[in-house]
Structure 1
Amino acid sequence: MADSDQQLKSDALLEQMKIHLTTDAGKETTKKIGLVYQLHIAPKKIGFNEVIYTVDLKKGEVKKGAYEGGKPDAAFSFKDEDFLKIATGKMNPQIAFMRGAMKIKGSISAAQKFTPDIFPKPAKM
């Protein structure tokens, strides 16, 4: 199966995000942000074998696949490990962008609201 070797570390975080958005804190985030983000997450190299996720902070949903309601407010491309670093607050999104670890398409003001705060804090295992 081609899909099983495409297991991204980010998948687990985005699964947590789905659950997080149903909580009060998640609903608060949805209210505050009200934007749609499309994430292109590549296992090793930006632009190759990307898995696309839509993080809809208007409806409070996370799903695999491109956004179907027109254009997302902002789209990001990154490698799996860099996305995790950004989402967990280990890498500043602006620094990631300047280093080329993250590419952005769409509204820059929307992109600036894409911060570790929108993600659930990783559950301590």
Structure 2
Amino acid sequence: MATNSTLKSAALLDQMKLHLSTEAGKQLTKKIPLVYQFNIAPKKIGINEEIFTVDLKKGEVTQGPFEGKPDATFSLKDEDFVKVALGKMNPQFAFMRGAMKIKGSLSAAQKFTPDIFPKPSKM
């Protein structure tokens, strides 16, 4: 998915795309067959957002909106997405304090946890 994005989130989503092609990633798609859309803003939610789709049904990560209705759509700032993905911010906490907005199924949204991201490799 090599994007021309300047968002830190895009690099994490690229890693996720590679992760979904592994055996662990394939197990994840069987466990959580949902589609998530992320509207990620550089500084302020709703302004200059870049849209990414994580389709766990197909095991794909793409840039652009999902064609159809995603199970859950998250809107958040780039830095908050990175914190949530790396497990440095609890997704429920981010939602409650307004750092993350969610549309769609809340039960689907609750399955989106840092556990679905590949662990960063030690360099």
- Alignment of 1:21 with 2:20, yes or no, is yes
- Alignment of 1:50 with 2:41, yes or no, is no
Alpha-carbon distance in structure 1 between the residues aligned to 2:120 and 2:62: 19
Report matched runs for 1:114-125 at 5 Å.
114-125=112-123
Q: Provide Cα deviations, 1:43-78, integer angstroms capped at 9, x if missing partner.
A: 00001100000000000000000001x100000001
The alignment partner of 1:20 has SS state of helix
Alpha-carbon distance in structure 2 between the residues aligned to 1:49 and 1:87: 21
Q: Provide Cα deviations, 1:71-121, integer angstroms capped at 9, x if missing partner.
A: 000000010000010011000000000010100000000000000011111
Q: Matched residue pairs, number?
A: 121
Alpha-carbon distance in structure 2 between the residues aligned to 1:88 and 1:8: 15
Of 80, 100, 103, 1:102 maps to: 100
- Structure 1 runs of 4+ aligned residues shifted over 2 Å read none
Alpha-carbon distance in structure 2 between the residues aligned to 1:55 and 1:45: 22
Q: Point out where structure 1 has 5 or more consecutive residues left out of the alignment.
A: none
Q: Point out where structure 2 has 5 or more consecutive residues left out of the alignment.
A: none
CA contact (8 A) 1:13 1:122 kept: no
Cα RMSD, aligned residues only = 1.2
Q: Provide Cα deviations, 1:8-50, integer angstroms capped at 9, x if missing partner.
A: 0111101000100000111111110000000000000001100
Residue in 2 that maps onto 1:60: 59
Alpha-carbon distance in structure 2 between the residues aligned to 1:32 and 1:81: 28
TM-score normalized by the length of structure 1: 0.93
Residue in 2 that maps onto 1:77: 75
Q: What amino acid maps onto 2:84 in structure 1?
A: I
- Percent identity at matched positions? 76
Residue in 1 that maps onto 2:40: 41
